[in-house]
């Protein structure tokens, strides 16, 4: 993520800012122009003061701009909500979704025209009722209870997942939705050739999903997944492999953009990530993550990038990069 110029002064804004710290102007992010405007120039999203702390501008045209959930004109992010934001724990999830949507717009993957329609339910597990994170036919359900750092640390430790974050969940579940929208035969934008190509890289997704997950949870992690998968969970089923790979690709491209814009390392020229050959992009990624982990070790905190993908897992990310940047 880069920084943005303030529309009112020479200062810079961070992506989540509601106001410029230099001049005090109230600002809002305009996703289709990838820039900030003052709130006098455009109507802010109706969720601006809600627990999701939205800082985007409202959509002014189209029937779904008027949200029945928030009772007002909302932005391209908040119109995806099926349920109102009630808990303060939604904030890291809404922030993660705004950040990820911006990446998808940049890749030419605006969800709005794709089928099945994309919607989210941000729900919170309680002692009586557990919320199951997942995707089903366009609807992504996330458990915002994981927005509580203590709870998240407990789950991380119990499941042995070093990297478990709200943004990881958002990117992973969007991977499932994109698979359905872009690859699956019912909704395919890529056609049979795209599906065959997917199977040659990730395997045959017609494998019984429920049985595969059951077998995954019953098995002991012996580390053998490391030879071909980005994570243990990716080895459960081709759909999970794709979703994990999709999420990882978005982690890489967001972090590389950040590094370039500050600039932390001498990176990829001015043409943007889509113009880079994958081998070059990945070489820069390795260089960057080495620095990143050494920086966090210097501060005595866990590695920011606790992964060491094997060549076959990297090849799958390369496949996705070529697919997403081909058009």
Q: What is the largest CA-CA distance in the chain?
A: 58
Please report whether residue 6 would count as binding Zn ion according to CB under 5 A.
Answer: yes
Whole-number Å distance between alpha carbons of 141 and 29: 25
- Residues 288 and 217: beta-carbon distance below 8 Å: no
* Secondary structure class of 66 (helix, strand, coil): strand
Interface with Zn ion, residue 183, by CB under 5 A: no
Please state whether the peptide bond connecting residue 177 to the residue before it is cis, i.e. omega within 30 degrees of 0. Answer: no
Sign of torsion over alpha carbons 33, 253, 257, 88: positive
By CB under 5 A, name the one of 31, 36, 50, 54 that touches Zn ion.
Answer: 54
- Helices vs strands, H then E, count in the chain: 8, 9
Q: Which is nearer to Zn ion, 77 or 253 (CB)?
A: 77
Closest to Zn ion by CB, 17 or 253: 17
Instruction: State the distance between the two ends of the chain, measured CA to CA, in whole angstroms.
Output: 22
Pick from 2, 22, 108, 279 the residue near Zn ion by CB under 5 A.
22
- For every residue of 170-190, DSSP letters joined together read HHHHHHHHHIIIIISTTT-SS
Q: What is the per-residue binding string for Zn ion in 233-262, x denoting contact by CB under 5 A?
A: -------x--x-------------------
Which of the ranges 39-47, 103-111, 216-224, 311-319 carries the binding residues for Zn ion, by CB under 5 A?
39-47
Beginning with the edge strand found earlier in the chain, give each strand of the sheet holding 139-143 in spatial order.
Answer: 119-123, 139-143, 134-136
Give the interface segment with Zn ion, choosing from 21-29, 157-165, 205-213, 282-290 (CB under 5 A).
21-29
Contact indicator for 116, 138 with CB cutoff of 8 Å: yes
* Residue 23 binding Zn ion, by CB under 5 A: yes
Cis upstream peptide for 263 (omega within 30°) = yes
How far CA 160 is from CA of 6, 100, 134, 147, 155, in Å, comes to 42, 25, 19, 18, 8
Q: What is the DSSP letter of 57?
A: B
Nearer to Zn ion, 8 or 39 (CB): 8
Q: How far is the CB of 215 from Zn ion (least distance, A)?
A: 15
- Shortest distance in whole angstroms from residue 105 CB to Zn ion: 14
> Shortest approach of Zn ion to residue 285 CB, angstroms?
23
Of residues 11 and 194, the one with the C-beta less far from Zn ion = 11
Q: Which of residues 66-95 bind Zn ion (CB under 5 A)?
A: 75, 77-78
Radius of gyration of the chain (CA): 20
Mark the segment that binds Zn ion (CB under 5 A) among 2-10, 80-88, 157-165, 311-319.
2-10
Among 2, 5, 9, 310, binds Zn ion (CB under 5 A): 9
Tell me whether residue 75 or residue 89 sits nearer to Zn ion (CB atom): 75
Q: Least CB distance from residue 32 to Zn ion, whole Å?
A: 14
Q: State the nearest-atom distance from the C-beta of 76 to Zn ion, in Å.
A: 8
Q: Does 11 bind Zn ion (CB under 5 A)?
A: yes
Q: Decide whether 146 or 282 has the Cβ nearer to Zn ion.
A: 146
* Residue 40 contacts Zn ion per CB under 5 A: no
Q: Which residues bind Zn ion (CB under 5 A)?
A: 6, 8-9, 11, 20, 22-23, 45, 47, 54, 56, 75, 77-78, 240, 243
């Amino acid at each position: 993520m880069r920084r943005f110029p303030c529309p009112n002064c020479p200062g810079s804004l961070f992506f989540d800012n509601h106001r410029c710290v230099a001049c005090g102007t109230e600002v809002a992010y305009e996703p289709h122009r990838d820039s900030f405007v003052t709130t006098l120039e455009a109507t802010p999203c109706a969720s601006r003061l809600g627990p999701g702390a939205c800082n985007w501008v409202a959509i002014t045209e189209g029937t779904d701009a008027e949200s029945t959930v928030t009772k007002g004109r909302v932005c391209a992010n908040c119109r995806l909500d099926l349920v109102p934001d009630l808990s303060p724990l939604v904030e890291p999830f809404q922030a993660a979704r705004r950040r990820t949507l911006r990446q998808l717009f940049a890749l030419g993957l605006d969800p709005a025209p794709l089928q099945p329609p994309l919607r989210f339910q941000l729900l919170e597990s309680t002692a009586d009722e557990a919320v199951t994170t997942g995707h089903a036919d366009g609807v992504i359900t996330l458990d915002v209870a994981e927005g509580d750092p203590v709870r998240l640390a407990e789950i991380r430790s119990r499941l042995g997942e070093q990297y478990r974050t709200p943004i990881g969940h958002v990117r992973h579940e969007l991977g499932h939705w994109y698979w359905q929208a872009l690859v699956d035969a019912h909704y395919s934008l890529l056609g049979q050739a795209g599906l065959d190509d997917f199977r040659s890289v990730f395997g045959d997704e017609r494998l019984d999903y429920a049985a595969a997950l059951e077998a995954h949870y019953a098995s002991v992690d012996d580390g053998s997944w490391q030879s071909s998968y980005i994570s243990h969970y990716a080895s459960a089923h081709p759909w999970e492999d794709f979703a994990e790979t999709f999420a990882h690709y978005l982690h890489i491209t967001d972090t590389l953009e950040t590094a370039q814009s500050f600039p932390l390392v001498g990176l990829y020229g001015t043409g943007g990530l889509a113009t880079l050959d994958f081998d070059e992009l990945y070489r820069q990624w390795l260089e960057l993550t080495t620095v990143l982990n050494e920086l966090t070790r210097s501060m005595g905190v866990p590695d920011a990038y606790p992964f060491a993908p094997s060549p076959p897992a990297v090849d799958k990310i390369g496949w996705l990069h070529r697919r997403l940047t081909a058009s």
